[in-house]
Chain A
Amino acid sequence: MDFSLTNEQELFQQMIRDFAENEVKPLAAEVDDLERFPIETVEKMAKIGIMGIPIPKQYGGAGGNNLMYAMAVEELSVVCATTGVIVSAHTSLCAAPILENGTEAQKQKYLPKLASGEWVGAFGLTEPNAGTDAAGQQTIAVEDGDNYIINGSKIFITNAEFAHVYVIFAMTDKSKGTRGISAFIIEKDTPGFSIGKKEKKMGIRGSATCELIFENVVIPKENLLGKLHKGFGIAMKTLDGGRIGIAAQALGIAQGAISETVKYVKERKQFGRPISGFQNTQFQLADMNTKTEASRMLVRKAANKKDKKLPYSVDAAMAKLYAAETAMEVTNKAVQLHGGYGYTREYPVERMMRDAKITEIYEGTSEVQRMVISANMLK
């Protein structure tokens, strides 16, 4: 067992940190404040391969692995959680299911454009009445000759406004419940397909979370992803992978808050000395760092298992559960240690605390992760 990074991974980390520090961090406050999707950052990430890290070279990707991908989402989220989730949703929720379930023709058609970042990807599972209970899909797809006709809507879809490709789910046989759901690939300009309301959010405010609306959207049969009626399994497997990305995002947020706090407590003086001199400050920092490092180990373990093609769904659930709750706890403490200043937008910890909350909710709430973990224990 070796816990150290290889030279290659270190070089990668150095690059991604450099990029995050110089290109992403300067925009983070503005992106949050104006609820602005950082399209220019996406273009820069595209240029150097960040939009296709675990996609094989043969499909135009960087040919990296899931560990590198998780490291990238972590480092980006250290400075800007919005940027972290853009990459995570694009990679884990759109490119990955096409790579893992697509036909050769689908892979050839979509992966090179997604991996190069020319196209951004999104994933539409959640509906107003189908959240945690994703099986309650009301969007329907009806066979019509060589086509499917899709009607319905999705809610809370990350990247929605800026995506070109969407992996979405719809009922193809209502009588069969989860066994009647199928996955489809939909392109941006398909007639009848539109983007609805954009959410105003607490955190990750630049990530463009919107409704998707389908009104008699006709798509050719070759856009069915995977087998007919096998969509629910695809959704669940996709979310397993996605949880590694979100866990990495949470980990990055926690790490970012720690870095800011360490800097702050050394500078801020009260009672004639830096507040870092108080034992309470020191103990809080110790706890923050320990839990964050534990999160990192869980994230890397899950990613490593996925890379080794071992079952990793429980590992991913644990990583996401722990990293998300740690991010929330750590950012909360970070604000506390910043005092009143931490509650203002002068300091980034306020944003980090707002950003952290979503990691306990999307791609399966913390309750869902506990269900996944315990179900595996009790089976």
Chain B
Amino acid sequence: MKIVVCIKQVPDTTEIKIDPKTGTLIRDGVPSIMNPDDKSGLEMALQLKDEYGAHVTVITMGPPQAELILREAYAMGVDRAIHLTDRKFAGADTLATSHALAGALRKIDFDLLITGRQAIDGDTAQVGPQIAEHLDLPQVSYLQDLKFDGVKTFTMKRHIEEGYQMLEVDAPCVVTVLSSANKARYMSVGGIVDAYQKEVEVWGFNEIEVDEANLGLKGSPTSVYKAFARGLKPAGELYEVETDEAVGIIIKKLKEKFILN
């Protein structure tokens, strides 16, 4: 079995600050990490490798520093790492990002494509499903668990609002995985040492199969109207009282806000 995992480098915080003047993210001083959902998806792939000897490739699109998460993936145990980077990809929104990734994926043979559900910086949860559409593959999003029958069928547990949905899907397919699905393994010390002796393949526009019009700023229909930081909530009121009285206070407050009547 061959698996590809899309991984993205994101700033290590869910509370990224936004520059009030320019409306853009302030990334300075925020350490970068592998997106948590992607790390969970990578763990899923590595478990299939442990159990069925799957070959695992990771791919990321991003600036040169994004190489770090590819090395991290090597240190966790992947077999191949591809870094998509080209000026032509710059300024991509989710659609253009997914076009570039799909363009690369057309050049790679795989049975299962794993992406994270969403990236903690963009938070759109669009890239995985978009890739599936571009490649015309079946997709299952919000995965909590996946089992393989050893032949070609996956049994999947999909998180939905009211519970779970169980599905059987044949390879090849695309799944988007939740960070809660797996606790990712640690990189191993030996893996880190080796990671820097392995090759990270660098692919640009010429290495992938995609219409240039779909890439970068040109291929990005999204325009940011306004980005702003939500104002801080004022500190809550604290009551140190007996339970009965506390219940009374809560009910009164909920009525004041018209949540109860």
Listed in ascending order, the chain A residues whose CB lies under 8 Å from chain B are 7-8, 11-12, 15, 18-19, 47-50, 52-53, 57, 61-64, 68, 72
Contact = CB atoms under 8 A, between A and B. Distances in A.
B195 interface: yes
14 contacts: A11-B75, A11-B195, A12-B189, A18-B186, A19-B186, A48-B185, A48-B186, A48-B189, A49-B189, A49-B190, A57-B190, A57-B193, A62-B190, A72-B189
Contact of B188 (A8, A18, A48, A68): A48
A69 to B, nearest CB: 9
Interface residues of B, number: 16
Interface string B178-197: 00000001111111111110
Contacts of B195: 8, 11
Given A8-B196, A11-B195, A15-B75, A62 B68 contact: no
B93 interface: no
B37 interface: no
The 7 closest A-B pairs by CB, nearest first: A49-B189, A62-B189, A62-B190, A15-B187, A48-B188, A49-B188, A8-B196
Given A15-B75, A18-B186, A19-B186, A8 B68 contact: no
A376 B194 CA distance: 39
Nearest to B75: A11
Contacts of A19: 186
The main secondary structure of chain B at its interface with chain A is helix
Contacts of A7: 68, 71, 196
B68 A11 contact: yes
Contacts of B187: 11, 15, 48
Interface of B: 68, 71-72, 75, 185-196
Contacts of B186: 15, 18-19, 48
Contacts of B189: 12, 15, 48-50, 52-53, 62, 64, 68, 72
Contacts of B68: 7, 11
Contacts of A49: 188-191
Nearest to A57: B190
B253 to A, nearest CB: 28
A63 B72 CA distance: 17
B53 to A, nearest CB: 20
Contacts of B190: 49, 57, 61-64
A357 B190 CA distance: 33
Nearest to B187: A15
A64 B72 contact: no
B24 to A, nearest CB: 26
Contacts of B194: 63
B191 to A, nearest CB: 8
Nearest to A19: B186
A19 B186 CA distance: 7
A73 B10 CA distance: 29
Nearest to B12: A14
User: Which of B71, B185, B193, B196 has the most A CB atoms < 10 Å from its CB?
Assistant: B193
Nearest to A65: B193
Contacts of A48: 185-189
Given A15-B189, A62-B192, A64-B192, 9 more contacts: A11-B68, A11-B75, A11-B192, A12-B192, A47-B188, A49-B191, A50-B189, A61-B190, A63-B190
B192 to A, nearest CB: 5
A125 B190 CA distance: 31
B84 to A, nearest CB: 19
